[in-house]
Structure 1
Amino acid sequence: MEHLQFYNIVSTFFQAQWKLTSILLLFDAYTKLVHQRQNGDQINRPMPDSVLYSAFEWDLYFNYFLALLELLVCVVVILTAFIIVSKIRPSSDKLRLYEIVRGILLSNFGKILVIPAVLWGYNEMYVWLSAIFVYASNVQAFRVLCPSWPAIFCAVVVISSHVVASTTGRLLYNVHSAIK
């Protein structure tokens, strides 16, 4: 009976994880939007007096897509590194790929720290501190999931995945800006 109860708790928690991840993507999209507006970037914004201005905030939708793409690229890079290293150097870490995805998604919850900073007045330093916290959380999650791997290797994989993800997001944003 205890096993079934534990399974139900874990199952409910991970179903809620996907909902929380979508909310975090919305926070990330809003932070990107505020950053773009602070820098004076204008991508196809309707006038505020437009009837559909609030309903169709296209920049927010586009930034949500960018945040989702960056998260997917980050997870794919980490999973690719895990698969390659697992083939080259077999270890006692018997993980399923979805456990790594869950661990990385859970460790991204530090992105919520940026929202108060955005609401109280946008400051780039808060965004950087939040990003450093998320990177450290990702590294720690990866180290917990792969205890036989060196900590420096986990850090390199996570930092590399975030660099590739943010570069992909910036490239797509620049292409989108050039088209408009």
Structure 2
Amino acid sequence: IIFNTSLNIHWKLCVFCLLCEAYLRWSALHGSEQSSDPADIIRYTKEWEFYGLFGLAALELLAFCSGALCFLWLWVCRLRGGTVELGLLLRALLLSCYGKVLLIPVVIWEHDDAPLCLSLIRLFVLTSNSQAIRVILNCSRRLSLVAVCVGLLSETLTAQACKELLLSVQEVWTS
């Protein structure tokens, strides 16, 4: 798909995967709460929370891709003297996140094994990311795994910083 097509579906797939991830987070926050009043202001607040979670998921994906791409650019271009086509690598990373679509069935069919399923989906997506890097750069498994780990670390630090920022803003509002 990466080399043999000229389809630019990676952005559409990326947005769809972000919607899946935002919906998963949003449904985890509110569970099965429902209001019978259609004019309920709480419903609109929940909708804005969904948009915020979409933004957070997009920021985390941006941090993941930026971390992995920066590491690979530094490693390949600066340390090894090679070249990296960052656009193609970004496209491959976005396409390799297709496994996030599996988040929707996990939410729809709530089950006791949902945390295990979510972990396996996350592992599948990270493995796909690593494979995409290996295909594009024709590099070793170790280098692609390190790049994915750097991206994951970047994503985790961004998520933690956003969480801390949100907590500090809530603290200011309550005091």
- TM-score w.r.t. structure 1 length? 0.79
- 1:134 paired residue number: 125
**Distance (whole Å) between structure 2 residues aligned to residue 34 and residue 26 of structure 1:** 12
Residues 102 and 115 of structure 1, relative CA distance in 2, 3 Å threshold: same
Share of identical aligned residues, percent?
28
Task: Work out the CA distance in 1 between the residues paired with 2:152 and 2:88.
Answer: 19
Q: 2:116 aligns with which of 125, 141, 150?
A: 125
Q: How far apart, in 2, do the equivalents of 1:152 and 1:176 lie?
A: 36
Q: Tell me what 1:29 maps to.
A: 22
Note the C-alpha offset of 1:35.
Answer: 3.0
- Partner residue in 2 for 1:109: 98
Partners of 2:21 and 2:57 within 8 A in 1: yes
**Which runs of 5 or more residues in structure 1 are unaligned?**
1-5, 39-46
| Shift, 1:134, TM fit | 0.3
Q: 1:166 to 1:153 in 2, by over 3 A?
A: same
Q: Distance in 2 between matches of 1:89 and 1:157?
A: 15
Q: Does 1:151 align with 2:138?
A: no
Check the 8 A contact 2:63/2:155 in 1, yes or no: yes
Amino acid in structure 2 at the alignment position of 1:74: F
CA distance in 1, matches of 2:24, 2:162: 17
Q: Deviations over 1:8-45 (max 9, x none)?
A: x51xx21x32122111111111112233346xxxxxxx
* CA deviation vs aligned residue, 1:27-86 (integer Å, no higher than 9, x gap): 111112233346xxxxxxxx9445344455121111101100001011111111122112
Pick closer, same or farther for the CA change 1:164–1:68 going to 2, 3 Å: same
1: CA distance, partners of 2:130 / 2:140: 11
What does residue 163 of structure 1 align with?
153
Give the whole-Å Cα distance in 2 for the aligned partners of 1:54 and 1:23: 23
Distance 1:110 1:75 in 2: 16
Classify the secondary structure of the residue corresponding to 1:95.
coil
Report how far residue 96 of structure 1 moved: 1.5
* TM norm structure 2: 0.81
Q: Which residue of 2 aligns with 1:44?
A: none
CA distance in 2, matches of 1:95, 1:174: 35
Q: How many residues align?
A: 160
CA contact (8 A) 2:73 2:84 kept: no
**Aligned position for 1:69:** 59
